[in-house]
Structure formats: structure tokens, C-alpha cells
Amino acid sequence: MFVEAEVWNVAHTDQGYAVLIKPLGTDAAVPIFVGQLEAQSILIGMGDIPMPRPNTHDLFLQGISKTGSTLKKVEISEIKDGIFYSTIYLDNMGNAVTLDSRPSDSIAIAVRADCPIFIAEEIIDEAGVSIHFITEKTDEANSEAENRKIELEKALEDAIKLEHYEEAAILRDQIKKLNEEIF
């Protein structure tokens, strides 16, 4: 059985990027780990950011349109050995067409086309986590990062007062890197 879902968030974790798929009406999310470029493409699609030239997912949607097909839905259908599988469903002039796809591509296409995303209940049972747990972990990580930033800023201020400019430059770079990770 499949349930309708949404892309709840795309998060950068210590293990890479995770697309958090949240079944509608639940407090669970399924993290699907993707590469940096795939995460970027999903975020571009979610933000409806115009690109000067079409990327692969935009080109795919143009191809669907030019052939008289319509995108009906995507399903995240299976998880085997930690690998997720998905299917794209098209209608081509009354004929059903299915395409095997990586979930990252299915999701990137679906968010651009405002197409429904469905996920198998078995996947939710196996890989779903509470969004409260995710929010708590994110809050903890942000709190730790903020505390570290305060410590670095104090050390930077001290280094400048003592005219230790090489140390100050290193601390400045650490603060900059931490800001990029937080924001």
C-alpha cells in the first residue's frame, strides 16, 4: 500500500545529504541519502529557481511534454539492502508508461512538476523516523555549533588584542567555515 508524501526537507548531515520524505498526516519522515548535485537539483526544483539553461530534470520534463505525455505520479516503492527504488508514472495519450528511476531523480522531477509523491508503507515502517527526533537532533547540532562559534569569536577578539594576527586569521577562517555549515 502507498501513501501520499511530501518533501519535508533536504538536510546536510555528517553522512552527506538526506532528502526527508514525510508521509502526509504523520509525524514520521524517511531520510533518503543522495549526492550533493542531486540535493541541489531537488532544492532548485522546490524553490522554483529559474535557471539560464535547462538542467537534466527540466529537460526530462520538456521531453515528456513534447511527446504528448503527462507526469501522473512518482512512487518510492522499495528498499533493498539500504537502497531505495522508485518509479515514474506517465500517461502517453491514454497509455500508461512506467520508468524505473533513482528516488533522487523522481523527487527532483516531481517537485518541479508539482506532481504527487507516494511512498510504500513498508518503507515508512522500516526506515521512518520521528520528525521530533530529527528536529531535536538539528536543534542540538545548531546549539553546539552556536556555542563553538561564540568560543571562536572570543578567541579571535583575544588574538587581535594581543596582536597575534596569524592566529586571528586562522580563527577567522574557522568562524567562516562554521557559519557556512550552520547557514
Query: Are 119 and 93 spatial neighbours (Cβ–Cβ below 8 Å)?
Result: no
Average pLDDT by consecutive 10-residue portion of the chain (183 residues)? Answer: 94 86 93 92 85 89 94 97 96 96 97 96 93 59 64 79 79 72 54
Q: What is the pLDDT of residues 111-121, one digit of tens each?
A: 999 999 999 99
Q: Is 126 left (phi over 0), alpha (psi -120 to 50) or beta?
A: alpha
Burial category of 49 from C-beta neighbours within 10 Å (exposed 0-12, middle 13-18, buried 19 and up): exposed
Q: Does domain 2-127 have CATH number 3.60.21.10?
A: no
Q: What is the pLDDT of residues 27-58, one digit of tens each?
A: 899 999 999 889 989 988 988 777 788 889 99
Q: What are phi and psi of 82, to 5 degrees?
A: 80, 5
For strands 69-80 and 117-120, give the pairing.
Answer: parallel
For the chain, the domains span 2-127, 133-182
The pTM (predicted TM-score) of the whole model is 0.72
Query: Are 117 and 7 spatial neighbours (Cβ–Cβ below 8 Å)?
Result: yes
